[in-house]
Structure 1
Amino acid sequence: MRQTDVQSVPSVKDARLQMRAHNQAGLGAEADRAGGSLRFLSRAAVAFQIVWCARAPSFGAAFSVPSLSYSQRGLSPKPLAPCRPRYNFQIRERSGNGDDGGDDIVPSDDREEGDNFFKQIQRWLVSDEGREDARIYTTSLTFALLMRFFIIEPRFIPSESMVPTFQVGDQLAVEKVTKLIRPQERNEVVVFTPPQAFRDFLDNPDSKRAKEALIKRIVATEGDEVIVHDGDLFINGVKQDEEFTNEKAKYEFGPVVVPPGKLLVLGDNRNHSLDGHYWGFLPRENVIGRAVFIYWPPWRLGNDNLF
């Protein structure tokens, strides 16, 4: 056999080394892809968190109901929205002998000596990783904002008008799509802009509080005849089974027929709610969306009695 033929045959050791290098290259590529996916998901999650965990708009604060002893505990301070991200930047102090004999203040260990924070940000923005992160944040924030304004948004309960369905401090998700597909139905809990009749009922109808969104339950739709008698609600002559109410109503109401394009809404806490039995009917176009589930606090998670 010629010498050149002997040299062209790779040894077993060389073959193993080549195979190991090939496998390591493949694993490295998979790790890079996995790392890129994790980086995208983490950046997108932060963007959604910033939009969603921003202070959830509350409903109208507790209004005084005439001739009723109405609880004002709904005006208590609001708890922080859950999982709000915080970012801390810290400067480390290091002992040293300067010209004045005092200590030197130097940047923390995660920055190069002599650089300041803004230079570090500038370097990050012009880097490939920085441009990729900026793209991810921009896309995610845009999508999250569109989702919040047009599909679903968080809301905060400040008063007791919907007890026991909602407690003060509950945070809930309100979806805005169903109203575009079908009319609202009885027993749905809806968020709405107060009609002018509600504002006229208040002492200061032009105040900011008078324009804040409210949340009540739909008890009747257009064409329904409504009567509240001896604490019970009757729709079209049929007594309604309302296990979600806090107590029986202590007022008489009706009979009234809901006009076309209108709704009648009442609070589940019937005797402590400034609702439709005071100010009348709610125009359908004032509905913002319907409550679909409570997401905070965790022990209240769910959607019992919301549909």
Structure 2
Amino acid sequence: MNEHMQSPEIPAVEASESSETAAFVALADPKTSVPGGPETATESSSGGVISKSPTRVPRRRNAEDWMSGIQWLSSTVVLAVFVITFLAQAFQIPSQSMEKTLLIGDYLLVDKVHYAEGGIWNSLLPYSQIGRDDIIVFRYPVQPTQHFVKRVIGIPGDRIHLYRGKVFVNGKSIDDATFAIHKSQQFDSYRDNFPAGNYISPEVNSRWWLEMHNIVHQGEIVVPPDKYFVMGDNRDESLDSRYWGFVPRENIIGRPFLIYWSVRRPESASTDGKLERLLYTLVHLPEDARWDRTFHLVR
């Protein structure tokens, strides 16, 4: 009876050792791990568990990397749209109408806040009124999808006329130092004597021709409210307010303040296409880049 009572002690120990071994095998073998468990164990040569390695993490990490990349790209796009819409925008000079102040191939940054009308924010943000002699970028009144850059000659209320190529504002001549190039070998009755009476140029906008004759007073044009009279510094090669009229206030985009890059444009007819111009620029960059104009302030 006593033997029968004591005999189960040995099997009990064996069962305990067997259960511990089974538990260890379950941990060591990934196939026996708990479904959905976050980690598995590996066995060292000495018989101990030495490390734990994650399962299914690479796929989750790749998804997180994708989401992080998409968020970064979205933030960059939103920031770029905000800057272009409200703060600054890049423009390129395509013609010689502003030489020597601005050259063909100059790339400009335009401050869109400088002239912005802020309403209640006027006292907090550095807005400025458009003044005479300011250089502005604006939407061309005849075709608003095009952008022009000119110098402001007349602001609302100013009286303007030209006589033999000399510009007069409110009865006083403008300092010719403002205009780098303005002398032509040929005299043009419309261009140099403005408003030009019965003289007309084929480049004059027909709507402006009719409007101009209704606002001429004693040989002068008076700039209406919320409009501006602009001209190019290279006045003999500039299609400006003389030819198509005033610039409305709402058309003005901003003030160019920096030439961030400048490159001479190819004159060859074979480089008319965008791809050809790009390839030409890359090949001839060292000699065609105007390094002295890079990061040059516009005045």
Q: Under TM normalisation by the shorter chain, which class is it?
A: 0.5 to 0.7
Does 1:191 find its partner at 2:191? no
Return the letter of the residue paired with 1:268: D
Match of 1:50 in 2: none
| Local SS of the residue matching 1:285 | helix
After superposition, give the CA deviation of every residue in 1:217-237 in whole Å (9 maximum; x if it has no partner).
Answer: 111100111122233222212
Mapped to 2, the partners of 1:268 and 1:125 lie a distance apart of: 60
Task: Return the offset for 1:155.
Answer: 0.4
* TM-score where L is the length of structure 1: 0.51
After superposition, give the CA deviation of every residue in 1:115-159 in whole Å (9 maximum; x if it has no partner).
Answer: xxxxxxx97983444433332222122112210122101001111
| CA gap 1:305/1:176 in 2 versus in 1, 3 angstroms | closer
CA RMSD in angstroms comes to: 2.5
Mapped to 2, the partners of 1:290 and 1:123 lie a distance apart of: 51
Do the aligned partners of 1:165 and 1:304 also contact (CA within 8 Å) in 2? no
After superposition, give the CA deviation of every residue in 1:179-201 in whole Å (9 maximum; x if it has no partner).
Answer: 22343111111111122xx45xx
Match of 1:147 in 2: 83
Mapped to 2, the partners of 1:129 and 1:305 lie a distance apart of: 43
| CA gap 1:231/1:143 in 2 versus in 1, 3 angstroms | same
| Local SS of the residue matching 1:154 | strand
Mapped to 2, the partners of 1:233 and 1:165 lie a distance apart of: 18
Mapped to 1, the partners of 2:61 and 2:168 lie a distance apart of: 65
Return the letter of the residue paired with 1:262: K
Does 1:289 find its partner at 2:282? no
Task: Return the offset for 1:274.
Answer: 0.8
Match of 1:227 in 2: 161
Match of 2:293 in 1: 300
Mapped to 1, the partners of 2:108 and 2:61 lie a distance apart of: 37
- What's the % identity of the aligned pairs? 33
Mapped to 2, the partners of 1:179 and 1:124 lie a distance apart of: 50
Return the letter of the residue paired with 2:230: V
Return the letter of the residue paired with 1:277: R
Q: How does 1:230-249 map to 2 (within 5 A)?
A: 230-248=164-182
Mapped to 2, the partners of 1:127 and 1:299 lie a distance apart of: 48
Mapped to 2, the partners of 1:125 and 1:282 lie a distance apart of: 56
Mapped to 1, the partners of 2:61 and 2:86 lie a distance apart of: 31
Mapped to 1, the partners of 2:60 and 2:182 lie a distance apart of: 63
| CA gap 1:138/1:256 in 2 versus in 1, 3 angstroms | same
Match of 2:194 in 1: 253
Larger radius of gyration: 2
Mapped to 1, the partners of 2:104 and 2:60 lie a distance apart of: 44
Return the letter of the residue paired with 1:229: Y
After superposition, give the CA deviation of every residue in 1:241-283 in whole Å (9 maximum; x if it has no partner).
Answer: 2424233365112422111111001011101111001122111
Do the aligned partners of 1:244 and 1:305 also contact (CA within 8 Å) in 2? no
Match of 2:62 in 1: 126
Task: Return the offset for 1:304.
Answer: 5.0
**Aligned residues between the structures:** 173
